[in-house]
Structure 1
Amino acid sequence: MRRTRLMHAGLAALFMLGSWAAAGTLPASASDSPDAPPASAGLLQAMQRDFGLTKDEAEARLAAERAAGDIAPAARRAAGAAYGGSWFDAKSGRLTVAVTSEASATTVRAVKAAGATVRSVEHSARQLDAAKARVDRLSAPLGVSSWHVDPTANTVVVNVVEDERADNDVQRFVSRAREAGPVTVRTVPAAPQTFAAGTVGGDPYYTGNVRCSIGFSVHGGFVTAGHCSGAGAGVNGWDGSYIGNFQGSSFPDNDYAWVNVGSGWWTVPVVLGWGTVPDQLVRGSSVAPVGSSICRSGSTTHWHCGTVLAMNETVNYSQGAVHQMTKTSVCAEPGDSGGSFISGDQAQGVTSGGWGNCSGGGETWFQPINEILGRYGLTLHTA
């Protein structure tokens, strides 16, 4: 990558050395070193700013979230057919696992033995996922923003734009959605939109007259948002020089793409701080549970942090529905599309769209990184 600003020589050398040991298969694992810091100073600073935490509190939260993510697979296996979903509880600092009321005492003990707190619920995750799949088959009007399974409420949540609640098409959709299973309707201030932008100044990549942001380096290129351009489109870097082109792209239905890198550019396992915070090394792609803290880097608004609100949400853009998205409370603005979502040092996904802005707040969705890697057979570039 032809870039000298924001890249200190020492860090660049470290990134290059780290790449020699980064040829593992996905999903990439977290760092195995017990002495590894929980995050870079820049990420901790962003969390202190956006969450109102002290440095020690931010470090403690990241450590608790990492522990919750580590025990989540075993806790889910222990719950078996009674599994109703899981999430990170920021107040207790622990993973909570929902199990149906029919779960045996042995199952409950096994989930607790895995290290999780247990909550009894009515519906299993399998039942909720099936209900959401039935909602996915409905044709949604633009007044319906999105829908997802909410394990904390044990229901499928349908989000409706506040000003469109009385619309006949919206009411018809909600009525049919309720027939699909347990559904709760909530309102949101605005409809979602993607965060691509026309050509402006800054430090982005460009395709045609669209500016977007790099997501994560993979061996041979980088991943980004599919709505930024279609397969075959050429890509230029911040300095106007040619990088490569879109090797694959999907939007709507999905919102992901990958771009090959050549012509004197190269990849590094880092999320850029854009001069606002120090750069963040990427060490893996372990999934952060619902409730975890998460931060985003983009070429327009740089670093912002928030919380994972929902997973596997279907987002109803004007161009069509996009599935299996993760919703966050992090803000974003045009030009941030494709940019990095990261939790600690673990890659999470690429920015798709949302509503609001970074002055008044909002919500943003990302397409999970492991889905993109699996779709195109890519390997995340890690330190």
Structure 2
Amino acid sequence: MRRTTVLRSCLSAALLLSTVAAGVGTQASAADSPTAADRAPASSALITAMQRDLGLTKTQATARLQAEATARTVERAAERAAGGSYGGSWFEAESGKLTVAITDDARRKAVEATGAQVTLVEHSERRLDAAMARIDKLDAPSGVSGWHVDPKSSSVVVGVVAERKNDNDVQAFLSQARQAGPVTLDETGQAPRTLAAGTVGGDPYYTGNVRCSIGFSVYGGFVTAGHCGQPSAGVRGWDGSYIGNFQGSSFPENDYAWVNVGSGWWTVPVVLGWGTVSDQLVRGSGEAPVGASICRSGSTTHWHCGTVLAKNETVNYSQGAVRQMTKTNVCAEPGDSGGSFISGDQAQGVTSGGWGNCSSGGETWFQPINEILSRYGLTLHTA
């Protein structure tokens, strides 16, 4: 066990040294113009993981990462150009372009000038967000898995567990939701669950008898999932030694927390590859658009990739609803909670929960990293 961790520390140090030698500066968040981080070449290991999980060739994976970096920049400019007509956006893997929805065709040329593709929709993002806020005030039964604003359908998509869709309480919820605004129904296979686990070994952190995964290093500690521990709870590393304590934690409503690091432990801007891929440097926290590729690292299932399916989704766990989550088709299993979601070299968020597993597939949600940093006044540790 210690040999594995020491090896990873050496790899992390080597990555950091190579970054310093190349003159890459620290960047905690993405700006509107392309940065050195956007232009940095992806590691061969990340390309390999995308080939495995997304069915891409090496050339396709490389081109997709480059296109997604461009889309992150275009998305910000396009939203400004669309103004109140903005209806949301998503990345189209087939074209390698960002598609922006607008409600007013008079804005088309201005939005297209940013490099985005444009499509007309019925409802603005502001209108859909208002409907989402009204639905958030409803009490959801367990047969409802969650809901989110979907720019493609220009509606709020409500997920319902297929075998529960005809339950009276589910139908009553849907009726109320439709009164709140435009709603589309999506049947899901299972209800989401959080992904903490009992003590079973690996390279995680522990609090009480719960095993979870480290998310991202921040100056002074690391961020993780809120359902993994309450404020002041002690945290132990893989070897049982004391790391620190939960300094802040929120669950449900949110699912985020941060832990201070001391007692000889130290932080680096690295996401572990677990021997499946090389350790990945973190260079910022530019938010990936819907449709972009994304990968996850966790202490149970290690490294897996997929795509962003939706943003700002309310997930209805048995413990209560968690809001402003991002939905992906990346698999995860118990013990992966709190682990890293990363797109290219940009931190995206910490694993919250999902359904399915890494044998049969499933869906997983994460809490966006920038919200966590803002909530606790933290600074992401970047290379």
Contact 1:31 1:284 in 2 (8 A): no
Aligned ranges 1:275-314 → 2 under 5 Å? 275-314=275-314
1:158 alignment partner in structure 2: 158
- 3-state SS in 2 of match to 1:354: strand
2:378 alignment partner in structure 1: 378
1:103 aligns with 2:128: no
Amino acid at match of 1:32: A
Q: CA deviation at 1:27?
A: 5.7
How many percent of aligned residue pairs carry the same amino acid? 72
1:15 aligns with 2:51: no
- 3-state SS in 1 of match to 2:169: helix
Contact 2:27 2:283 in 1 (8 A): no
1:86 aligns with 2:64: no
Contact 1:197 1:335 in 2 (8 A): yes
Contact 2:355 2:362 in 1 (8 A): yes
Contact 1:26 1:373 in 2 (8 A): no
2:73 alignment partner in structure 1: 70
1:367 alignment partner in structure 2: 367
Q: Distance in 1 between matches of 2:377 and 2:27?
A: 12
Aligned ranges 1:1-383 → 2 under 5 Å? 4-7=5-8, 9=10, 11-15=12-16, 26=29, 31-32=35-36, 36-37=40-41, 39-100=42-103, 102-104=104-106, 107-383=107-383
> C-alpha offsets along residues 114-140 of structure 1, whole Å, 9 cap, x if unaligned?
000000111111101101111001000
Normalising by structure 2, report the TM-score. 0.95
- 3-state SS in 2 of match to 1:184: strand
Contact 2:12 2:268 in 1 (8 A): no
Q: CA deviation at 1:44?
A: 1.0
Over 3 Å counting, the alpha-carbon distance change for 1:50 and 1:17 in structure 2 is closer
> C-alpha offsets along residues 159-210 of structure 1, whole Å, 9 cap, x if unaligned?
0001111111100000000000100111000000000000001111000000
Over 3 Å counting, the alpha-carbon distance change for 1:275 and 1:14 in structure 2 is closer
Q: Distance in 1 between matches of 2:177 and 2:12?
A: 51
Q: Distance in 2 between matches of 1:74 and 1:377?
A: 26
Which gives a bigger RCO, structure 1 or 2 (Cα 8 Å, sep 6+)? 1
Contact 2:27 2:284 in 1 (8 A): no
> C-alpha offsets along residues 82-101 of structure 1, whole Å, 9 cap, x if unaligned?
1110000111110000011x
Amino acid at match of 1:52: G
Over 3 Å counting, the alpha-carbon distance change for 1:218 and 1:18 in structure 2 is farther
Q: Distance in 2 between matches of 1:214 and 1:258?
A: 10
Q: Distance in 1 between matches of 2:243 and 2:9?
A: 21
Q: Distance in 2 between matches of 1:42 and 1:237?
A: 26
Contact 2:28 2:382 in 1 (8 A): no
Over 3 Å counting, the alpha-carbon distance change for 1:10 and 1:299 in structure 2 is closer
Contact 2:37 2:345 in 1 (8 A): no
Contact 1:23 1:379 in 2 (8 A): no
Q: Distance in 1 between matches of 2:14 and 2:57?
A: 31
Over 3 Å counting, the alpha-carbon distance change for 1:22 and 1:315 in structure 2 is farther
Q: CA deviation at 1:10?
A: 5.7
Structure 2 gaps of 5+ residues are none
Q: CA deviation at 1:36?
A: 2.2
Q: Distance in 2 between matches of 1:131 and 1:35?
A: 38
Contact 1:332 1:356 in 2 (8 A): yes
Normalising by structure 1, report the TM-score. 0.95
Q: Distance in 2 between matches of 1:22 and 1:218?
A: 16
Q: Distance in 2 between matches of 1:357 and 1:164?
A: 21
Contact 1:27 1:370 in 2 (8 A): no
- 3-state SS in 2 of match to 1:336: coil
> C-alpha offsets along residues 211-251 of structure 1, whole Å, 9 cap, x if unaligned?
00000000000000000010000000011111001000000
Q: CA deviation at 1:14?
A: 4.2
Contact 1:244 1:261 in 2 (8 A): yes
Contact 1:6 1:275 in 2 (8 A): no
Over 3 Å counting, the alpha-carbon distance change for 1:69 and 1:35 in structure 2 is closer
Q: Distance in 2 between matches of 1:284 and 1:373?
A: 12
Contact 1:296 1:304 in 2 (8 A): yes
Q: Distance in 2 between matches of 1:87 and 1:43?
A: 22
Q: CA deviation at 1:141?
A: 0.4
Contact 1:248 1:257 in 2 (8 A): yes
Runs of 4+ in 1 over 6 A off after TM superposition: 19-23
Contact 1:26 1:374 in 2 (8 A): no
